[in-house]
Amino acid sequence: MPTVPADATATASPAPDALPALIARAIRAAGGWLPFERFMHLALYAPGLGYYARAARQFGQLPRSGSDFVTAPELSPLFARALAVQLADSLAATGTDEVWEFGAGSGALAAGLIEALDALGQPLARYTIVDVSGALRARQRQRLAAHGARVAWADALPPVLRGVVVGNEVLDAMPVTLLARRGGRWFERGVRIGESIEALAQDGQAPAAIKTEAISLTWEDRPTALRPPLEPAGTHDLVTEIHPQAQAFVATVAEALRRGGAGAAWFIDYGFPEAEYYHPQRSEGTLVCHRAHRVDDQPLADVGDKDISAHVNFTGVALAAQDAGLEVLGYTSQGRFLLNCGLAEALAAADLPTRANAMKLLDEHEMGELFKVIGLATPGHPPARGFAQGDRTHRL
């Protein structure tokens, strides 16, 4: 499981330079160079300062809401209703009555799933949320207050678990290791302090709190024995990612479910199978930042004020789960999965605004194709309706 702070509680109005200064101190403490994986962890999860630990709004449909991006549960309530159909099947198949959600965001998915499962006659005894952000926990508690004691929060997954695990856009937010191939040699890409700040430090002018405009971060590559699981063909220079934290997390979930003897896990995220992820034409990698519903590729700029994420290697997810004792139920696009779970019928009964938003869940140019769904379960789980048509497991 990835190393994250147990409770990244937001503080009131931290100094604007607090996170860059924290990262600068971490770089100095590490000898002047910080692996990108560690930088990304601090940028997103540093207690009270990181992007997901601050008291600011991340999720919403439009920039004027102050949000940076929209997730499927925020976009349409029909997402949760369709996903609940598959979760109800998995709860019945495993004889369990608890859902665990990782990275619950605003609580929109939790609210939708609890209500939809009640309507489907598969009420939950408990819905447990694991979220590293104290700020997000506060919003979740407010949104889910009506469900009372059925909703609980935990700092970590227990070593033994019976139930169904859900992760919507959680794997992409786990820190990645950056690799660069240059001149046929492999390097790990990390972060160091820019020369201007190094000069200030040498002159004794760079105290713990450095003015934001004075902090300069830059890339530095160091030779490494690390390699991507599938080396891109050719000899051209490129940048890519590997995902040790996400795969360790999936293995931890799988081991807990295996020990419990009955359960399933469903992950929805943007990503590719390994052959597509490490295709030679994807020479710039997949690392992206989101701010005010715009995308950029500059993670070292405006640290803490924007999301940083990388696409998911679903082959790595599947292998991590299988190695820990789970079976792969299927893998397909989000659009196909939702249609298999009855979204078309729900659309037919919905009003026009609801239909317009929900179509973005299916549209190939929106979330329908880029986002994928993978299902994992302990042995004995029946075939999953979410993969009844369009299963792509053979491409993992």
Is the Cα dihedral 89, 172, 247, 8 positive or negative? negative
| pLDDT at position 393 | 98
Higher pLDDT, 277 or 5: 277
Tell me the mean pLDDT in the region 27-49: 96
Tell me the mean pLDDT in the region 194-211: 49
| pLDDT at position 260 | 96
| pLDDT at position 373 | 98
Higher pLDDT, 119 or 10: 119
| pLDDT at position 14 | 65
| pLDDT at position 274 | 97
124-152 pLDDT, tens digit each: 999 999 988 777 888 899 999 999 999 99
Flag whether pLDDT at 157 surpasses 90.
no
Q: Confidence class of residue 208 from pLDDT cuts 50, 70 and 90?
A: very low
315-335 pLDDT, tens digit each: 999 999 999 999 999 999 999
One-character DSSP codes across 155-185: SS--SS--EEEEEES-GGGS--EEEEEETTE
Q: Confidence class of residue 213 from pLDDT cuts 50, 70 and 90?
A: very low
| pLDDT at position 194 | 87
| pLDDT at position 10 | 40
Q: Tell me which residue has tokens 């809401």.
A: 65
Give the pTM: 0.90
* Whether the Cβ atoms of residue 245 and residue 37 lie closer than 8 Å to each other: yes
Flag whether pLDDT at 2 surpasses 50.
no
Flag whether pLDDT at 11 surpasses 80.
no
| pLDDT at position 4 | 39
Flag whether pLDDT at 59 surpasses 70.
no
- The Cα-based distances of 143 to 77, 212, 351 in angstroms read 14, 35, 24
Give Cα 283 to chain centroid, integer Å: 22
| pLDDT at position 205 | 47
Q: Confidence class of residue 281 from pLDDT cuts 50, 70 and 90?
A: very high
160-171 pLDDT, tens digit each: 999 999 999 999
| pLDDT at position 156 | 86
Most confident of 53-62, 276-285, 289-298: 276-285
> For the chain, how far is it from start to end, CA to CA, in angstroms?
22
* Whether the Cβ atoms of residue 339 and residue 332 lie closer than 8 Å to each other: no
| pLDDT at position 278 | 98
| pLDDT at position 319 | 98
Higher pLDDT, 189 or 7: 189
What's the mean per-residue pLDDT of the chain? Answer: 89
| pLDDT at position 58 | 66
| pLDDT at position 195 | 65
| pLDDT at position 292 | 78
Percent of the chain having pLDDT more than 90? 77
| pLDDT at position 53 | 85
Flag whether pLDDT at 201 surpasses 80.
no
- The Cα-based distances of 73 to 81, 104, 393 in angstroms read 10, 10, 25
Helix 244-260, helix 314-323: angle, nearest 10: 40
93-122 pLDDT, tens digit each: 999 999 999 999 889 999 999 999 999 999
| pLDDT at position 150 | 96
Q: Which domains, from first to last, does the chain contain? A: 18-395 (3.40.50.12710)
Flag whether pLDDT at 297 surpasses 60.
yes
| pLDDT at position 134 | 79
Task: Select from 138, 66, 79 the least CA-distant residue to 112.
Answer: 79
Tell me the mean pLDDT in the region 233-261: 97
Tell me the mean pLDDT in the region 51-77: 72
